[in-house]
Amino acid sequence: MKSLLTLYFSLFSIFLFAQDVAILKYKGGGDWYSNPTALPNLAKYCNDHIDTNINESVQTVEVGSIDIFQFPLLHMTGHGNVFFSDDDAENLRNYLISGGFLHIDDNYGMAPYITKELKKVFPNNELVEIPKDHSIFSTIYEFPNGLPKIHEHDGKAPQAFGIFHESRLILLFTFESDLGDGWEDAEVHNDPEEVRTKALQMGANIVKYAFEN
């Protein structure tokens, strides 16, 4: 156990100074690979607009791998089933409480599966709605009304939920918004440019928050 903890903290020291993001691959049959152009486009937007130096050739990492500790920000999306083994849950929990950040973007239909699996990661923590005055909505770009609405889904208002550890937001779950679709290449969903810009700006806020908190 001691050697494992030493390894975790050694890897933590890497992502303290890293500016990279990765797609989180999970089990269960859900399409973790959806929105393939989204994260590379967000990385480019951040490099062009908020002076980051993110590798735009975005990597994929498995939830149970120690490779997740190389990245200060992981992005997870999909439409369907999600499954975390006990080892996956422990690895993800250690990553998050050691300083990592996970953004889960519901691409429609993911919510019931991910909320159940998150109980394995944090049995004593509930997803709570993030207030509109939280700094993640104003880190760079101002969103006084909270999360922007990008896609229709069920027509409900977009909501941002989170899990906190020692007052730090370590996990963000974006619901009824679909930021990732707004990050994709323009021709994929034919979203108006102003809608894509809002999605990318909110994404930049998430990146900035994850890198600095």
User: Above 80 in pLDDT, residue 154?
Assistant: no
Q: What's the Cα-to-Cα distance from 184 to each of 150, 164, 196, 199, rounded to whole Å?
A: 12, 29, 8, 10
Total tally of structural domains belonging to the chain? 1
Residue count of the chain, please give it. Answer: 213
The reported pTM is 0.91
Q: In this structure, what are the phi and psi dihedrals at residue 191, rounded to the nearest 5 degrees?
A: -70, 145
Q: What per-residue confidence (pLDDT) applies to 15?
A: 53
For 180-191, the pLDDT digits (tens) are 999 999 888 778
User: Above 80 in pLDDT, residue 17?
Assistant: no
Q: What per-residue confidence (pLDDT) applies to 189?
A: 73
- Segments forming the whole domain that contains residue 80: 2-212
Q: What per-residue confidence (pLDDT) applies to 187?
A: 84
For 84-105, the pLDDT digits (tens) are 999 999 999 999 999 999 999 9
Question: Is residue 4 very low, low, confident or very high in pLDDT (cuts 50, 70, 90)?
Answer: low
Query: Which CATH number fits the domain that encloses residue 104?
Result: 3.40.50.12140
Structure tokens at 201: 């700006």
Question: Is residue 9 very low, low, confident or very high in pLDDT (cuts 50, 70, 90)?
Answer: low
